[in-house]
Amino acid sequence: MKVLTVRTQEPYEIHIGGGILTDLPEDLPRVLESRDLALVSDDTVRELIAEDLRRLLSEAGFRAEIFSFPPGEASKRMETVVELARAMVRAGFDRKSAVLAVGGGVTGDLAGFLASIYLRGVPYIQVPTTLLAQVDSSVGGKTGVDLPEGKNLLGTFYQPRRVYIDYGVLSTLPGEHFRNGLAEVVKYGASLSADLFSFLEREAERLFLYEPEVLEHVIYESCRLKAEVVSRDEREAGLRRVLNFGHTVGHALEAALNYELLHGMAVSVGMVAAARLSEALGVAEEPVAERVEALLSRLKLPTRLPSGVSPERVLAFLSADKKVWKGRLTMVLLRRIGEFVFYQDPSRKVILEVLEELCA
């Protein structure tokens, strides 16, 4: 097992290894005083993982109950948070209880937000079960829900007590959801680590064989890079915005499609757009778009806008993005692979031209 520390105001550890979920009953008392655990999960992960984890915890003397909701981004809304909170109240969970977020990114964001406001805040643990959540959303303490006007427009910064990443559970994922997480791994390599990007180029095919050493390396490096950024900028005052590479257009694309496209798939298209913009705006000091597109294609990720959505519609949703402040949009672009730059007020005309190039 590998251990990373996220050095936020209240530091916490990320534990990474195969089969480590069986260690939770022994390890949880080191970070939680409570033995009353509300496991929050979607209905799919409940059957695949959460029920087994609940039994494991119950046998170890914990009071563990599952509170679940329908899977998918459509559940990531305030109404779901209220429904879960009311169910927890009826079940007698008080401020001495703790929440375990067991699932993917939607579950982690939703359960973290719930924990941050339930009885003015109870501790929570992240148990990410998708690659996307393991390398990205479970680390850093950003929680939230969506509004019809955009993604993650309601939320809090609320750090977990610990993150348990068991890459053994990834074998339960449909292939599409595994690829969904690979997009975030590419994000870290493209914007922060040329070494990680080159590793992905060399080992792309081995990833799909679920080889433990390859999975552990990409998960560890992704978490290490994010932990370094979060430790220096816990509340996204500056540097942390680098984690938005590919997300500006990606979030707009998700909203334009009413969140019917997986997050990583949207970010994949967003990274292609950002790489092409880097060249079109003269930011890139060497070619970047071709390598980014080639790697995403090898990882079976989309590089073009889906049919049925217009460039103009995607551009319209950019104005509602959280990265717009006082009418000014800041995008993360590439100087070269592994080196980012913040670019303010990119030309909407150039963005539209790039999006038009990406029409399927």
177 is in an annotated binding site: no
How far apart are alpha carbons 289 and 274 in whole angstroms? 8
The answer on whether 184 is annotated among ligand-binding residues is yes
- Known binding residue 282? Answer is no
Catalytically active residues are 120, 142, 184, 226, 236, 240, 244, 247, 251, 263
Measured torsion, CA atoms of residues 69, 71, 72, 77, in degrees rounded to the nearest 10: 0
213 is in an annotated binding site: no
Q: Which residues contact residue 186 at a Cβ distance below 8 angstroms, ignoring those fewer than 6 apart?
A: 197, 200, 268, 271, 292, 295, 296, 299, 301
- Answer yes or no: is 105 a known binding residue: yes
Q: Which of 288, 277, 253 is nearest to 347 (CA)?
A: 277
229 is in an annotated binding site: no
Query: Would you say 242 is a known binding-site residue?
Result: no
Q: Which residues contact 55 (CB under 8 A, 6 or more apart)?
A: none
106 annotated ligand binder:
yes
Order of strands, edge to edge, in the sheet holding 324-325?
A: 324-325, 328-336, 339-344
* Half-sphere exposure at residue 26, Cβ-oriented, CA atoms within 13 angstroms: 4
Q: Is 142 annotated as a binding residue?
A: yes
Collect all residues with Cβ–Cβ distance below 8 Å to 228 and sequence separation of at least 6: none
**Binding residue ranges for Zn(2+):** 184, 247, 263
Known binding-site residues equal 105-109, 129-130, 142, 151, 184, 247, 263
Q: Cite the annotated binding site for NAD(+) by residue number.
A: 105-109, 129-130, 142, 151
